[in-house]
């Protein structure tokens, strides 16, 4: 990805890019300051995975957005400017079609997709079911959820839950679009005592990967899946290297007692940026 070609183009572009990256960095920092990390509140690892992916993806998306965005966009969608990250930015990667208002008329979006296969359906977000569909060649109906904060915060995130196995329950969960709402895990307070150490680690993650930073973490062979069993109960230490292990390291996150054991789970993340 030649995302950072704009960095050398002009001083103003540099400043703009640096400001944006700083912003992304701060956002990424927040994930490590969530109460559920420091207080050991139970949370499923898929949630952490997904939020981490969402935030780290900004490293690769945003600069390319800047360079491709020449201001000539017939984008009539609302600008959800929460924390400075807008859905308008995300939408740059795909063509815009006219928005109709009639029932059933909608825009098929595929700007971002993440597919998980888990043994539970609950993640940290609050969802509102809006549809259910019989899918051919599928034994169970597919459920459609949108973020509960679609209207009060304009969050455009949706997910589909498809049960693909009964005995050990297994669900294919497809997430569409990023959460822009701020009600993650319904835990309102965010610790504000950010330290420079955290900043450094995140910055390192960026610098180490350079301009062609990619999120295809499946390429890391010894990470994650094989070590699920051995490290399952060692949840006390979070000696993670932020730059490498966060995305696919499912092993050490506390898991709710009501959900199935982690060692039953096979988590597959596939992320798609589709130009349609």
Which listed residue (1, 135, 164, 190) binds DNA by CB under 7 A? 135
CA dist., res. 11 & res. 131, Å (int): 49
Length of the chain: 276
160 near DNA, judged by CB under 7 A: yes
- In contact, 162 and 135? CB cutoff 8 Å: yes
137 near DNA, judged by CB under 7 A: yes
Structural tokens at position 209 = 């990967």
Pattern 103-132, DNA, x by CB under 7 A: xxxxxxx----------------xxxxxxx
Q: CB-wise, 88 or 244, nearer to DNA? A: 88
64 near DNA, judged by CB under 7 A: no
C-alpha closest to that of 190 among 84, 85, 53, 37: 37
Rounded to 10 deg, the angle between the 11-31 and 45-68 helix axes is 170
DSSP-derived secondary structure for 22-41: HHHHHHHHHHTT-HHHHS--
Pattern 16-55, DNA, x by CB under 7 A: ----------------------------------------
73 near DNA, judged by CB under 7 A: no
Distance from CA of residue 237 to its chain's centroid?
A: 24
C-alpha closest to that of 156 among 4, 15, 28, 54: 54
Q: How far is the CB of 174 from DNA (least distance, A)?
A: 8
Q: How far is the CB of 164 from DNA (least distance, A)?
A: 13
99 near DNA, judged by CB under 7 A: no
Distance from CA of residue 72 to its chain's centroid?
A: 28
Which listed residue (9, 133, 226, 229) binds DNA by CB under 7 A? 133
Which listed residue (55, 66, 146, 178) binds DNA by CB under 7 A? 146
Cβ of 90: how many Cβ atoms within 10 Å?
23
Q: CB-wise, 146 or 217, nearer to DNA? A: 146
User: Footprint of DNA on this chain (CB under 7 A)?
Assistant: 97, 100-109, 126-137, 142, 144, 146, 148, 158, 160, 176, 276
């Amino acid at each position: 990805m030649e995302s950072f070609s704009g960095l050398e183009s002009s001083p103003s572009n540099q400043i703009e890019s640096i400001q944006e990256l700083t912003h992304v960095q701060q956002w990424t920092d927040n994930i490590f300051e969530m109460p559920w990390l420091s207080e050991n509140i139970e949370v499923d690892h898929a949630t952490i995975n997904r939020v981490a992916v969402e935030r780290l993806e900004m490293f690769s998306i945003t600069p390319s957005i800047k360079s491709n965005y020449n201001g000539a966009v017939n984008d009539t969608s609302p600008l959800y400017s929460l924390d400075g990250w807008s859905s308008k930015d995300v939408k740059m990667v795909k063509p815009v079609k006219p928005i109709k208002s009639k029932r059933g008329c909608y825009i098929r979006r595929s700007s971002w997709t993440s597919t998980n296969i888990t043994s539970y359906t609950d993640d940290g977000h609050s969802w509102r079911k809006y549809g259910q569909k019989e899918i051919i060649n599928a034994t169970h109906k597919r459920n459609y959820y949108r973020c509960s904060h679609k209207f009060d915060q304009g969050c455009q995130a949706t997910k589909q839950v498809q049960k693909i196995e009964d005995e050990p329950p297994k669900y294919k969960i497809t997430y569409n679009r990023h959460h822009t709402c701020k009600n993650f895990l319904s835990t309102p307070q965010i610790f504000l005592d950010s330290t420079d150490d955290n900043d450094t680690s995140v910055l390192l993650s960026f610098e180490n990967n350079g301009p062609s930073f990619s999120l295809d973490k499946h390429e890391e062979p010894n990470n994650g899946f094989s070590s699920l069993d051995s490290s399952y109960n060692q949840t006390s230490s979070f000696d993670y290297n932020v730059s490498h292990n966060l995305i696919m390291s499912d092993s050490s996150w506390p898991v709710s007692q009501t959900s199935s054991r982690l060692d039953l789970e096979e988590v597959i993340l596939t992320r798609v940026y589709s130009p349609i």
